[in-house]
Amino acid sequence: MKSLFFSLLISSILFGASSFLMPDEAFKPFANVNDTMQVEAGIDLAEDIYLYAEKLKIELKNTSAISIKNIELPQSVDHDGENAYVISPHFLIHLQSDGSLSGMQKINLSISYQGCSEKGLCYEPLTSTYELEIDTSLLSSADATNPSVQTNTQTDIELSETDLIADTIKNGSLIAVLLTFLGFGLLLSLTPCVFPMIPIISGVIISQGKDITTSKALMLSIVYVLAMAVAYTIAGVMAGLFGANIQAALQTPWVIYSFAGVFVALAFSMFGFYELKLPDSLVAKVSSAGSGGGYVGVAIMGFLSALIVGPCVAAPLAGALVYIGQTGDALLGGMALFSMSIGMGLPLIAVGVSAGKFMPRPGMWMTMVSAIFGVMMLAVAIWMLERVVDASIIMILYALLGLGFAIYLGALEAGSHVFKKTIAIVLFIYSLALFIGALAGSHSLTQPLGFLQAKAVASTTQTKATHLNFTKVTSIKELDKVLAANKGKKIMLDFYADWCTSCKELEEVTFVNSDVINELGSFVLIKADVTENSEDNKKLSKKYGVFGPPALIFFKEDGKVQSAKTVIGFIAADEFLQHLDTL
């Protein structure tokens, strides 16, 4: 220890007083006993400090009646050719008794470890010892044939889907990783996160007018998708390295209102009210570039669309972020994210090329196509406003948009084409139902008149749960209070945000399923609302390793998190029911 002290002293003189941390600053071990007589221990690491996995040793001293049954350790990672922990390792020590002692007994637990600083200093081996009190009546019985077996090696722990994906990046070949994430991207292109980008890229192509060619449509589509991929990659790498949710930061009301205004401006230009040309403001400039054929404008639109229109977190994205956060390997993690983004964008390229290839000749059809995409642009603007505007107002806006478009299509006129007239009438009826539902307090776009059914159910004598009740929390302090009040119960913690598309999909599809409602009846349901992305929100997300909503985290009756059972992103009702059966 003296030699280390003098090394640090010399380093401080040569390189500055804050170059290296003292051992008690770099490593902060701890150990305590929980209610089930398991030992919760760990070593909190300072910034730029890592720990050698092989040097970690946990032992019991001065006791033979109580021994270590097994230890649950986190996954280590490869760090410059060594197995190491680059984030603070926490572990659970299971004890066992040979039955020779009863009641409360004191044990001495020692934790030996060695680590280094990323700045180039390796610390001497260190040992911390703790005196703990154990109730032997709550311990399991030791194996009679070998009562003192101690397992100080890493056990095989079931990994969550996110951890498995992170492990794929770590252990897979470069080509395999890139192809795997390309496939993930193609699957994610079928999710609601990507759907709003379809009218955007289509509108960019359509707005070029009659002079658009297939080759130019292809180039514009590629530029849009590449810009989108770069945005996802940069945001993902920053999130992995710094634990910051870049997309969440862009979900502030003024950003949402501004970007929604861009789509409104684009929509009205497609309706023929005006032609956008080099306006003064930045928003109008982006709109002009997007509708005037400028590649720079298309790139800007693609970049911003990725961050603002589609802020979704799915298991592949979370897995890449976990890998980057654990290893600091932004290059490989970024390549995986870029490959995933390209996979998400391939269908968009196909849509863009199709829009350019099948452009109708000038005439009435051209006016109709422009009007359709104008309506789609307005729908995207309203969809974005869902994150900052009351749900009833959103329904009214959708209803007015639908009613206006239905009238434009000829719903109230005689002599229209049968197919066109049918579509117009159906749209008119649905939009009218939305309007009535909004006035009655309904918030469902799929069942706007569901309040009528709710009244019928309420009038029957048989009562049955029709929705889930969540306790809302926004900070660690609030969550800990709810957890403490529900000890001994199974708990599901749902990370949610108003601007999260997949969160709303969970609420409107999965959480309204009657079987899901019944299965979750035995759970205490907590909703961690991180909409504001405040400091308390960030600390709460960081504590549970959540890079962005949605994330479903499950607690056992003893209060322990079932890390391997965490669900990231949307999950359908049937799959979720199967998942609940494994808890």
pLDDT tens digits, one per residue of 420-457: 788 888 888 888 888 888 888 777 777 777 666 655 55
**Which residues, 6 or more positions from 485, have their beta carbon under 8 angstroms from its beta carbon?**
none
Query: Residue 49: which of 31, 24, 72 has the closest Cα?
Result: 24
Tokens of 456: 């019928």
pLDDT of residue 10: 42
Where are any strands of DSSP class E within 73-114? 77-79, 82-85, 90-97, 104-113
- Fold for the domain defined by 471-581: Glutaredoxin (3.40.30)
Distance between CA 398 and CA 430 in Å, rounded? 10
- In terms of pTM, does the model score above 0.75? no
pLDDT of residue 43: 92
pLDDT of residue 151: 42
The CATH architecture to which 19-146 belongs is: Sandwich (2.60)
**Tokens 């040309």 sit on residue:** 277
CATH 2.60.40.1250 domain locations along the chain: 19-146
CATH 3.40.30.10 domain locations along the chain: 471-581
Number of H helices, E strands in the chain: 21, 17
Query: Residue 384: which of 507, 298, 258 has the closest Cα?
Result: 258
Q: What string of pLDDT tens digits covers the 583 residues of the chain? A: 444 444 444 444 444 444 568 888 889 999 988 877 788 899 988 888 888 888 898 888 777 778 888 888 887 777 777 788 888 888 888 888 877 777 788 888 999 998 888 877 788 889 999 988 888 777 766 543 343 333 434 444 455 566 667 666 766 778 888 888 888 888 877 766 677 777 777 766 666 655 667 777 788 888 888 988 888 788 777 766 665 555 555 566 777 787 777 778 777 776 766 554 434 454 444 444 444 446 777 787 778 777 666 556 666 666 676 666 666 677 877 888 888 888 888 888 887 777 655 554 545 555 666 677 778 778 878 877 877 788 788 888 888 988 888 888 877 777 667 777 888 888 888 888 888 888 887 777 777 776 666 555 544 434 445 678 899 999 988 998 998 888 888 999 999 887 777 788 888 889 988 899 999 988 999 999 988 878 888 888 878 877 778 889 999 887 788 877 888 888 888 999 998 988 7
- The helix, strand and coil proportions of the chain, stated in percent and rounded to the nearest 5, come to 50, 15, 30
**Which residues, 6 or more positions from 156, have their beta carbon under 8 angstroms from its beta carbon?**
none
Distance between CA 486 and CA 479 in Å, rounded? 11
- First-to-last alpha carbon distance for the chain, in angstroms, is 47
pLDDT digits 0-9 by tens, 349-362: 887 777 655 554 54
pLDDT of residue 552: 92
**Which residues, 6 or more positions from 524, have their beta carbon under 8 angstroms from its beta carbon?**
471, 482, 486, 489, 490, 491, 492
Distance between CA 583 and CA 580 in Å, rounded? 5
Under 8 Å between Cβ of 388 and 258: no
Question: What is the Cα gyration radius of the chain?
Answer: 29
Under 8 Å between Cβ of 442 and 448: yes
pLDDT of residue 528: 92
One-letter-per-residue 3-state SS of 506-532: HHHHHCCCHHHHHHHHHEEEEEEECCC
